[in-house]
Amino acid sequence: MDRIRIVGGNKLNGVIPISGAKNAALPLMIASLLTDDTLTLENVPHLADVEQLIRILGNHGADISVNGRRERQGESYARTIHFTCRNIVDTTAPYELVSKMRASFWVIGPLLAREGKARVSLPGGCAIGTRPVDLFIEGLQALSANIEIDSGYVNATAPAGGLIGARYTFPKVSVGATHVLMMAATLANGTTVLGNAAREPEVVDLANCLNAMGAKITGQGTSTITIEGVRSLSGARHRVLPDRIETGTYAMAVAMTGGDVILEDTDMALLDTALEAIRRAGAEITETNSGIRVVRNGAGIKPVDIVTDPFPGFPTDLQAQFMGLMTMAKGTSHITETIFENRFMHVQELARLGAKISLSGQTAKIEGVGRLKGAPVMATDLRASVSLVIAGLAAEGETMVSRVYHLDRGFERLEEKLTRCGAHVERVSD
């Protein structure tokens, strides 16, 4: 099993290309099930989750081909992938596939809308909480779907004439459920209005792609999304937006270590709240023609309190990384997690590096320390794993991160990107 070895102490200087967003690519790929034409997606990152979803879509009958690589400094980043699903050959998403990646449950929306039926395994829990699918089920029922749960599977059927548009207000904001209901409603009869919908850029990206395919969606980026159903969707070509979580992660790495890095092919507007928190911690962040410049020289890291919230608030997917940054702040900071339970499992691993963190409910108190010291640590989930990398970059000596398959799910060529900016990071295979 691979591990990542980090020798801390080097500042980061150079250019880091930002990949396409995993959290946008996955629903965009699933949207290919809505049409029998070809959906071409550009800027698709090469990640374990993307590869897993390719296998899942193939199981449903999608024909998938990859071409058009963009070369950068001798290495290929991003991919153009063509998805063609002329015929749905199987409307069942089995447990052995869904259990490996929760987002695969989202196929229930397009399958139900296009084929009138779907049998999808319940995804179960995960390391950062239960993340139930109640909102998905309630929303599909609002569109007149009949839902039965049997033997660990959600069996969904649409009325004989197809799903029927309706008004549904989410009891709480859910990005995944917003994706699913928006996709399902594109082929429903009549108009669907989704209230308290997620406003994340990835939701907007999916809506824009669906509109390019012939859907009639308005209000994306606000809390009320209106979808006027159409008879069918066509193919389209769409570019996946930049990964705001990767952008924020590398910005925090620069704030942690010091240095001067250009984050290329990204957009400040995607994560204003997070970048403002990083500025308050002492980094200079400015927009450039090619992306974002992050600089920290001289003064140390300042303590900053944050609370995670749905967009446009501070992203829960950057909470662990920001905690890594705060471990060396000159003072005490507080981080409150409001989105997921059990998302503080990285605390114990950061403590192995010398961090001083205490928990009270969903709030972590971080007392900054003068130095961290390298140690063996274990990744517990995707975002927690990269918080250990950030801490390791500033720690004295060697940090060895195990279970890096978590990293491979969401960060494309992390060690290569950091190494090119002067970090001492390498992948070690046992």
Task: Grade residue 339 by pLDDT with cuts at 50, 70 and 90.
Answer: confident
Is 317 annotated as contributing to ligand binding?
A: yes
Through-space distance between the first and last CA atoms of the chain, rounded to whole angstroms: 6
> What mean pLDDT is predicted for residues 4-13?
96
Kindly give, in sequence order, each residue whose CB lies less than 8 Å from that of residue 397, ignoring residues fewer than 6 positions away: 7, 8, 373, 374
pLDDT of residue 125: 44
- Report the candidate in 278, 296, 368, 283 with the shortest Cα–Cα distance to residue 330: 368
Spell out the domains of the chain, with CATH numbers in brackets. 2-16+243-429 (3.65.10.10), 24-239 (3.65.10.10)
Is 272 annotated as contributing to ligand binding?
A: no
For residue 398, the cross-strand partners are 7
Q: Is cis: bond before 376, omega within 30 of 0? A: no
Task: Grade residue 362 by pLDDT with cuts at 50, 70 and 90.
Answer: very high
> What mean pLDDT is predicted for residues 249-262?
97
pLDDT of residue 124: 59
Kindly give, in sequence order, each residue whose CB lies less than 8 Å from that of residue 31, ignoring residues fewer than 6 positions away: 39, 110, 183, 206, 209, 210, 213
Helix, strand or coil, per DSSP, at residue 412: coil
Lowest mean pLDDT among 70-84, 133-147, 174-188, 340-354: 70-84
Task: Grade residue 410 by pLDDT with cuts at 50, 70 and 90.
Answer: confident
Is 23 annotated as contributing to ligand binding?
A: yes
Give the E-state strand segments of 11-69 in sequence order: 12-17, 38-44, 63-67
- Report the candidate in 41, 95, 36 with the shortest Cα–Cα distance to residue 62: 36
Task: Share the mean pLDDT of the chain.
Answer: 93
Helix (H) or strand (E) holding 184: helix 175-185
Task: Grade residue 403 by pLDDT with cuts at 50, 70 and 90.
Answer: confident
Q: Per the structure block, which two tokens stand in for 2?
A: 């691979």
Lowest mean pLDDT among 125-134, 201-210, 239-248, 275-284: 125-134
Percent pLDDT > 70 in the chain is 95
Is 385 annotated as contributing to ligand binding?
A: no
Catalytic residues: 126
Query: Rounded CA gap, 15 and 375, in Å?
Result: 28
- Report the candidate in 24, 34, 26, 22 with the shortest Cα–Cα distance to residue 210: 34
Is 382 annotated as contributing to ligand binding?
A: no
pTM above 0.85, yes or no: yes
> What mean pLDDT is predicted for residues 197-210?
98
Is 10 annotated as contributing to ligand binding?
A: no
At 41-69, the pLDDT tens digits run 999 999 989 999 999 999 999 999 997 44
pLDDT of residue 128: 33
Task: Grade residue 70 by pLDDT with cuts at 50, 70 and 90.
Answer: very low
- Report the candidate in 70, 83, 80, 69 with the shortest Cα–Cα distance to residue 44: 80
Q: Per the structure block, which two tokens stand in for 327?
A: 């471990």
pLDDT of residue 309: 95
